[in-house]
Amino acid sequence: MENRLVSVVIPAYNCGHLISRALNSVISQTYPHWEALVIDNHSEDNTREVIRSFDDDRIRYMTIRNNGIIACSRNLGVREARGRWLAFLDADDWWMPVKLEKSVRALERGSDFVYHDLFRAGPGKGPLPWMKVRTRQLGSPVFHDLISRGNAITNSSVVVEKSLFIDSGGLSEAPELVAIEDFEAWLRISLRSEKFRRLPGAYGFYWIGDGNTSSPTRTIAGVSSIERMYCGMAAAGIDAHRPAWMSLALARANYRLGNHAEASKCIATAQHVNMPDIFDIGILVRLLLLKFTCARKAG
């Protein structure tokens, strides 16, 4: 059974009003060989009671104090997982019924890591089928594509070979990588495997309500850490220049903090990037708009 089992790792905190939707979407999967591991960061609402109300022994509940580092919750789920594959699902996101079936089919055909687009959904709006959290097909080498062009993978879409995930080191629990720790893990995995597969279509929903862990300060810490750790890796054929997506992320974060001069400096670094690494014309457009806005602020 373990040879075909998917372990769904769901970190939770004060999500009693949302987690039923996530768990029902797992229960509704057309692929039957799964277990769901809910790791609760000692919620102060009714999260525990909601989870316990599901009469399904495939749902396992455990608690942790993660001190604001969600990677600790996910890594606990990974350690307790019994399956061959790991699937990640945030407590406020949910899947379409065929998500695991399509993912496992790709994995059984030789992929190590699969992902796909997600539809956006928000409070009072319901699913927004015309708006997606879009991924992209990764070029080879995958590591070079990710570090040069930025994250193309949404966490709640991923299903990955457990042994590969563990051998790559799991998710970093470093505080400076909070909100970017998944991308850093994908980078390490891509140094071990090229077998990344983007599924055509969208097979889940990404909630754009409250609870996002990102912030300008965290963006600066995370992106700066990724740049320090991975840019200039000669063994992987990576140049030491800062990729344009990093310049954009740092410029926007500094702008939001009111650091307009620093934002302008970050924008200027993008002018030295080799053209084939960037485009993605959207990054250029956003950089130019932000440059204009910073200039107006400075004036």
Identify the pLDDT of residue 258: 84
Identify the pLDDT of residue 264: 80
Q: What angle do CA 56, 58, 59 make, to 5 degrees?
A: 75
C-beta neighbour count of 79 within 10 angstroms: 10
Q: Are 164 and 189 in contact (CB under 8 A)?
A: yes
Identify the pLDDT of residue 170: 97
Among candidates 118, 196, 109, which has minimal Cα distance to 159? 196
Q: Tokens at residue 197, please?
A: 């597969």
**In the chain, which residues fall in CATH 3.90.550.10?**
2-207
Q: Tokens at residue 200, please?
A: 């055509």
> Cα dihedral angle (223, 229, 233, 239), rounded to 10 degrees?
30
| CATH code matching the domain that covers 2-207, chosen among 3.40.50.2300, 3.30.70.3450, 3.40.50.2020, 3.90.550.10 | 3.90.550.10
Q: What is the DSSP string of 203-259?
A: EEEEE-SS-----HHHHHHHHHHHHHHHTT-GGGT--SSPPHHHHHHHHHHHHHTT-
State how far the Cα of 86 lies from the Cα of 35, in Å rounded to an integer: 10
Output the tens digit of pLDDT for each of the chain's 299 residues.
568 899 999 999 999 999 999 999 999 999 999 999 999 999 999 999 999 999 999 999 999 999 999 999 999 999 999 999 999 999 999 999 999 999 999 999 999 999 999 999 887 666 666 688 889 999 999 999 999 899 999 999 999 999 999 999 999 999 999 999 999 999 999 999 999 999 999 999 999 876 556 789 999 999 999 999 998 886 777 777 788 889 888 988 888 888 878 888 887 776 554 444 444 555 556 666 766 676 666 55
What distance, in Å, lies between the first and last C-alpha atoms of the chain? Answer: 66
C-beta neighbour count of 226 within 10 angstroms: 23
Q: Three-class SS string for 129-196?
A: EEEEECCCCCCCCHHHHHHHHCCCCCHHHCEEEHHHHHHCCCCCCCHHHCCCHHHHHHHHHHCCCCCE
Task: Write down the pTM of the prediction.
Answer: 0.90
Q: Are 77 and 11 in contact (CB under 8 A)?
A: yes
H/E run at residue 283: helix 281-298
